[in-house]
């Protein structure tokens, strides 16, 4: 047996992560969470990085998890607000390798601007919440959290509080967890949260919550501890330690996994004793759920709802209640399993999903990117439609601005340029700048393609800082994306997206170049360019229906009987003439033969 260690909760979490096989850690400093990552950075076998903020940290960790590496993200409670956007949808996509988010609450606000209770986020996102009560549990629960994450395909929240993070206790080290490889497999239905796929994943989340509750009922993390007094206490986290010291003879239901709540274990405690109290720091999170079962408890009418607890506060608060006449015994009423909405009827008719517009120049980016073996991390905008058939050109869509952080984490985890990021101009300004700064700062490898169509197209052409167009139609200063990137220190090229040869060459150059680079593919949204660029014609003799032009996914092109047919919706963008190897597609009036096909993939 190795010697017993004396760790703070934060040190224990870091060591526990390494012991659990986590190889990627990131976060943003915030009291009382900071020392977790500081400790991890000193340990072997785990890559640790400070990120620019908690949102980027979570997205980076998601990228590393997708790449197949167990990842842990650390932040203080209010940091989870910043990370809430990726967090809420991460619940739907789930993970590849396990992903654990540590949120450290600060009851008493020793150094915080509010006193929010992170457990509300577990309920909000329908993910499990683990609450260790001392350093040993902090160390052990991290491995439990990773195992749950992979078994149930969910991120797992681990709540610390100031006294756990900054308290110290003995830790007996455990045998390191040995992990098999967890290769990345592209799965658009799981990782690209466009409405159609998100609806399907959401149903799985609701079912997963029921399975997690069944697990909470049998999990050794939730222990019913026999006492000798006719008093039961339900507690989690460090509050358990206070209550245990204050009432040594009481029965305890110790919840290591406080969400979802194991209803039947709660009911079992009520069968053992005639009075039950819930002891928890901050919100009546457990208490409200117990009351909803119709079971009488003592809770926040006695235990302060603000500030820190200790054994003295707990004893003085509960003593008068527990010596009173016990309430009438009641039978619990377990909540029903919620029903899900009727699934939509099987279509039976051809579906009509939204598509990239005919003539959308940015379609060319997907054509240029597809020849390289990079996992394209996507973002939110028209171009997310590139994930749908026939292009199938994006691997992920998590939330606004997530593409760059996910790319960085993916590449950091694998130690090479394995993923690219595809993001629109408006999305880039929304939240793509911070992860670019982060990727540069942490020396992540990668290729970011900004699809700059000079507008916020998906929602109907609103202005953004890159255009300077304001809501009232007036013009303000326009921010230059290339100058912005160069100001950060990132290599950046702006190319005309309508010139396929130039675009393809720029993408290839960045794929081959070391380190991080940005290509701004510039071409205005085709819906803002009313006039037709030219008439495309097909030479039936030359067309052999090879399908290369159909692969660009333009709705104006269709497979005809003997040759490809061109619909009236064609805008004459000419991308199909670029990819055709036989010179069958050309602009009317041009010679057609010989010129087209150069530089085709």
Partner 1 sequence: MSVTTTVSLVGVGGQGILLAAAILAETAFAEGLDVKASEVKGMAQRGGSVLSTVRFGEHVWSPVARYADVVIATELLEGHRGLGLLAPQGTLVCATTTRIVPGSVLRREEEYPDDLPGAAAARGARLIAVDAEALAREAGTLRAVNVALLGAASVVLPFAAASWQRGLAAAVPAKILEVNERAFALGRGAVSNEEVGP
Per-residue contact string for residues 141-180; x = within reach of partner 1 by CB under 8 A: ----------------------------------------
At residue 188, what are phi and psi to the nearest 5 degrees?
-65, -40
User: Which residue, 220 or 347, has its beta carbon nearer to partner 1?
Assistant: 347
- The burial of 345, by beta-carbon neighbours within 10 Å (0-12 exposed, 13-18 middle, 19 or more buried), is given as exposed
Q: With contacts defined by CB under 8 A, name the span among 111-119, 233-241, 331-339, 550-558 that binds partner 1.
A: 550-558
Helix (H, G, I), strand (E, B) or coil at 232: strand
- The burial of 472, by beta-carbon neighbours within 10 Å (0-12 exposed, 13-18 middle, 19 or more buried), is given as exposed
Q: With contacts defined by CB under 8 A, name the span among 105-113, 456-464, 466-474, 497-505 that binds partner 1.
A: 456-464
CB of 21 to partner 1, least distance (A): 42
Our CA dihedral for 197, 200, 202, 208, rounded to 10 degrees, sits at -130
CB of 200 to partner 1, least distance (A): 17
Residues in binding contact with partner 1, number by CB under 8 A: 26
- Token pair 């991290």 is found at 142
Is 346 a binder of partner 1 (CB under 8 A)?
no
Q: Which of 336, 345, 477, 514 binds partner 1 (CB under 8 A)?
A: 345
User: Which residue, 449 or 525, has its beta carbon nearer to partner 1?
Assistant: 525
Contact 179, 46 (CB under 8 A): no
Is 326 a binder of partner 1 (CB under 8 A)?
no
Is 550 a binder of partner 1 (CB under 8 A)?
yes
Q: Which of 336, 338, 343, 460 binds partner 1 (CB under 8 A)?
A: 460
Please write down the HEC assignment for all residues of 541-588: CCCCCCCCCHHHCCCCEEECCCCEEECCCCCCCCHHHHHCCCCCEEEC
At residue 241, what are phi and psi to the nearest 5 degrees?
-60, -40
For the chain, helix (H) and strand (E) counts, in that order, are 21, 22
Q: Which of 513, 528, 558, 593 binds partner 1 (CB under 8 A)?
A: 558
Residues 403-432 that bind partner 1 (CB under 8 A): none
Q: With contacts defined by CB under 8 A, name the span among 26-34, 312-320, 414-422, 556-564 that binds partner 1.
A: 556-564
Is 557 a binder of partner 1 (CB under 8 A)?
yes
User: Rounded distance, CA 25 to CA 18, Å?
Assistant: 10
Q: With contacts defined by CB under 8 A, name the span among 50-58, 236-244, 295-303, 351-359 that binds partner 1.
A: 351-359
Residues 186-225 that bind partner 1 (CB under 8 A): 195
Is 546 a binder of partner 1 (CB under 8 A)?
no
Contact 94, 20 (CB under 8 A): no
Q: Which of 421, 416, 388 is nearest to 402 (CA)?
A: 421
User: Rounded distance, CA 228 to CA 247, Å?
Assistant: 11
- Token pair 């090229």 is found at 493
Q: Which of 180, 220, 338, 350 binds partner 1 (CB under 8 A)?
A: 350
Measured CA to CA in angstroms, residue 334 lies from 73, 208, 276, 329, 369 at distances of 35, 18, 18, 16, 53
Q: With contacts defined by CB under 8 A, name the span among 223-231, 242-250, 284-292, 347-355 that binds partner 1.
A: 347-355
Residues 499-538 that bind partner 1 (CB under 8 A): 527
CB of 353 to partner 1, least distance (A): 6
Q: With contacts defined by CB under 8 A, name the span among 175-183, 453-461, 584-592, 593-601 that binds partner 1.
A: 453-461
Q: Which of 1, 178, 341, 351 binds partner 1 (CB under 8 A)?
A: 351
**Cβ neighbours for 588, distance < 8 A, ≥ 6 positions apart:** 534, 535, 536, 537
Please report, as ranges, the residues that interact with partner 1 according to CB under 8 A. Answer: 195, 345, 347, 349-357, 382, 385, 389-390, 457-458, 460, 527, 550, 553, 555, 557-559
């Amino acid at each position: 047996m190795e010697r017993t260690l004396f760790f703070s909760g934060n040190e224990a979490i870091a060591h526990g992560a390494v012991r659990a096989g986590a190889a990627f850690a990131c976060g943003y400093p915030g009291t009382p969470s900071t020392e977790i990552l500081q400790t991890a950075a000193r340990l072997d076998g785990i890559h640790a990085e400070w990120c620019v903020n908690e949102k980027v940290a979570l997205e980076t960790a998601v990228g590393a998890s997708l790449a197949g590496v167990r990842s842990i993200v650390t932040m203080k409670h209010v940091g989870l607000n910043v990370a809430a956007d990726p967090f809420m949808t991460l619940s739907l996509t789930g993970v590849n390798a396990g992903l654990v988010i540590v949120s450290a609450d600060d009851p008493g606000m020793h150094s915080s601007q509010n006193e929010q209770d992170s457990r509300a986020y577990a309920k909000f996102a329908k993910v499990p919440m683990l609450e260790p009560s001392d350093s040993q549990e902090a160390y052990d629960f991290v491995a439990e959290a990773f195992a749950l994450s992979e078994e149930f395909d969910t991120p797992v929240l681990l709540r610390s509080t100031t006294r756990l993070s900054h308290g110290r206790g003995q830790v007996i080290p455990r045998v390191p967890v040995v992990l098999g490889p967890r290769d990345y497999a592209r799965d658009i239905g799981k990782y690209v949260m466009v409405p159609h796929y998100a609806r399907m994943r959401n149903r799985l989340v609701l079912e997963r919550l029921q399975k997690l509750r069944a697990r909470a009922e049998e999990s050794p993390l939730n222990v019913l501890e026999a006492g000798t007094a006719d008093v039961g206490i339900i507690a989690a986290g460090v509050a358990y330690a206070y209550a245990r010291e204050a009432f040594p003879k009481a029965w305890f239901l110790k919840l290591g996994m406080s969400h979802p709540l194991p209803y039947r274990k709660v009911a079992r405690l009520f069968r053992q004793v005639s009075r039950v109290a819930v002891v928890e720091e901050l919100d009546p999170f457990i208490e409200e759920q117990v009351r909803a079962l119709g079971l009488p408890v003592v809770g926040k009418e006695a235990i302060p709802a603000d500030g820190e607890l200790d054994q003295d506060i707990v004893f003085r608060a509960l003593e008068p209640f527990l010596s009173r006449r016990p309430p009438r015994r009641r039978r619990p009423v377990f909540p029903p399993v919620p029903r899900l909405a009727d699934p939509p009827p099987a279509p039976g008719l051809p579906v009509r999903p939204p598509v990239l517009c005919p003539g959308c120049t940015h379609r060319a980016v997907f054509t240029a990117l597809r020849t390289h073996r990079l996992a394209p991390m996507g973002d939110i905008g028209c171009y997310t439609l590139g994930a749908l058939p026939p292009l199938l050109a994006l691997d992920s869509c998590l939330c606004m601005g997530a593409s760059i952080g996910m790319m960085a984490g993916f590449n950091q985890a694998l130690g090479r340029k394995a993923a690219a990021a595809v993001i629109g101009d408006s999305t880039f300004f929304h939240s793509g700048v911070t992860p670019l700064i982060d990727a540069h700062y942490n020396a992540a490898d990668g290729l970011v393609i900004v699809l700059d169509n000079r507008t916020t197209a998906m929602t109907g052409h609103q202005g953004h800082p890159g255009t300077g167009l304001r809501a009232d139609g007036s013009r303000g200063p326009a921010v230059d994306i290339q100058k912005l990137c160069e100001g950060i220190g990132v290599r950046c090229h702006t190319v005309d997206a309508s010139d396929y040869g130039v675009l393809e060459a720029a993408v290839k150059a960045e794929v081959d170049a070391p380190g991080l680079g940005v290509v701004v593919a510039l071409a205005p949204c085709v819906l803002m360019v009313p006039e037709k660029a030219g008439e495309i014609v097909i030479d039936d003799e030359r067309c052999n229906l090879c399908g290369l032009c159909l692969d660009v996914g333009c709705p104006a092109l269709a497979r005809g009987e003997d040759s490809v047919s061109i619909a009236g919706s064609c805008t004459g963008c000419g991308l199909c003439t670029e990819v055709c190897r036989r010179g069958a597609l050309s602009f009317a009036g041009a010679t057609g033969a010989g010129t087209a096909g150069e530089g085709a993939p």
